[in-house]
Amino acid sequence: MSRRGSGLDAIVVGAGVVGAAAALAFARDGMRVALVEPRQPPAWQPLPTDADRIDLRVYAFAPDNAALLDNLGVWREVANARVQPYRAMRVWDAAGGGELAFDADAFGRRELGWIVEHALLVDRLWNALPGAGVQLHCPDSVVGFEQDESGATVVLESGLSLRSKLVVAADGAESKLRSLAGIEAPRHDYGQRGLVAFVESERPHQATCWQRFLPTGPLAFLPFDAHNVSSIVWTLPEAEAQRLLEADETAFLRELDNAFAGTLGASTRVSRRAAFPLRLQLAQSLASGRIAVIGDAAHAVHPLAGQGVNLGLRDVATLRRTAADARERGIDPASRLSRWARAQRSGNALSAYAFDGINRLFSNDSLAATLLRGPLLGLAGKLPPLTHAFWRHAAGQ
């Protein structure tokens, strides 16, 4: 076995949005960082030559995370390429009742957030890694892990072995490193899938995120281009999702328009479609010795509030402060991890269970739930302090 990188301050495992941002953040703070990832991401293209391979994942990106990327020197690169600001949100229930509405003007802002492509974020974060001095191991993956008083050793499939005082698991919901560290992550499958696609509508999206709750689950239209193309996230029971993936374009658009009640007029075109299984999964602890667990490795949440990647980047921001604080004091970062983990996990658990509760109440056709939903949204919408509190929480303010 060859050994390299014993002079490292941190090893980050997994280079999705969360892991790549963590590695870049540590490197910008002067730490020597190794980043391990099995797959080189495809380069982002503004107009994909192969529409069948376009990455369908987009995120409703919160202002605090745009500020984090700005601080890492990446946000301008992302914003100059393609982001769509959203200035309003409308949430309502198919059974009627009130509406929950958020408008940027009411918060004295130009926008509430931005719709950003996953592939673009990963591309721009990866572009910044070499200049920041991050040691990238790709393609490679973690196969072994050990830790002791003086440090932790990560063994890679290539036979390399890396050593440092801090190891970060950012390798997604199926995290290998989390299992190697013996951290359990009980999972509840919702029996639902999130069907995603790009859809062109007759009328412009008005830079608004629309979400209509149906008994089968929420349907969201997120503004994607400057006019009338939206990215949809449609939560459906497994079998329904499969049926709609296989439906021809005409049948799909007809069912979509029924589900969205023609809110933006008729849907005229749809891209390739894909569906992801939805689950609630929370790691029982976010730290074990020298390991910190972040992103989907720590928490997989329902996409109805668009908070998955936002929560992961908040893990990065707080872990970065913890590591920087330990460095300033000249102490072992591992001595600070359990406090970080407790605070971070309770915030994540609160969000995860809140989204879970909303999903249970709204993806439900029982009479009691149906009678409760519309009035609840209406009441929340009529109480400005409550709408402000919701938004501040979602925006990380």
CB of 311 to ligand FAD, least distance (A): 7
CB of 306 to ligand FAD, least distance (A): 3
Between 92 and 126, name the residue whose CB sits nearer to ligand FAD: 126
Between 55 and 97, name the residue whose CB sits nearer to ligand FAD: 55
CB of 318 to ligand FAD, least distance (A): 15
Between 57 and 273, name the residue whose CB sits nearer to ligand FAD: 57
Answer whether 116's CB lies under 8 Å from 83's CB: yes
Between 12 and 374, name the residue whose CB sits nearer to ligand FAD: 12
Between 86 and 98, name the residue whose CB sits nearer to ligand FAD: 86
Residues in the chain: 397
Between 281 and 370, name the residue whose CB sits nearer to ligand FAD: 281
CB of 21 to ligand FAD, least distance (A): 8
CB of 60 to ligand FAD, least distance (A): 5
> Which residue bears the tokens 């995370």?
65
Residues at the interface with ligand FAD (CB under 6 A): 13-19, 36-39, 57, 59-60, 141-142, 170-172, 176, 194, 196, 233, 276, 295-296, 303, 306-310, 312
CB of 17 to ligand FAD, least distance (A): 5
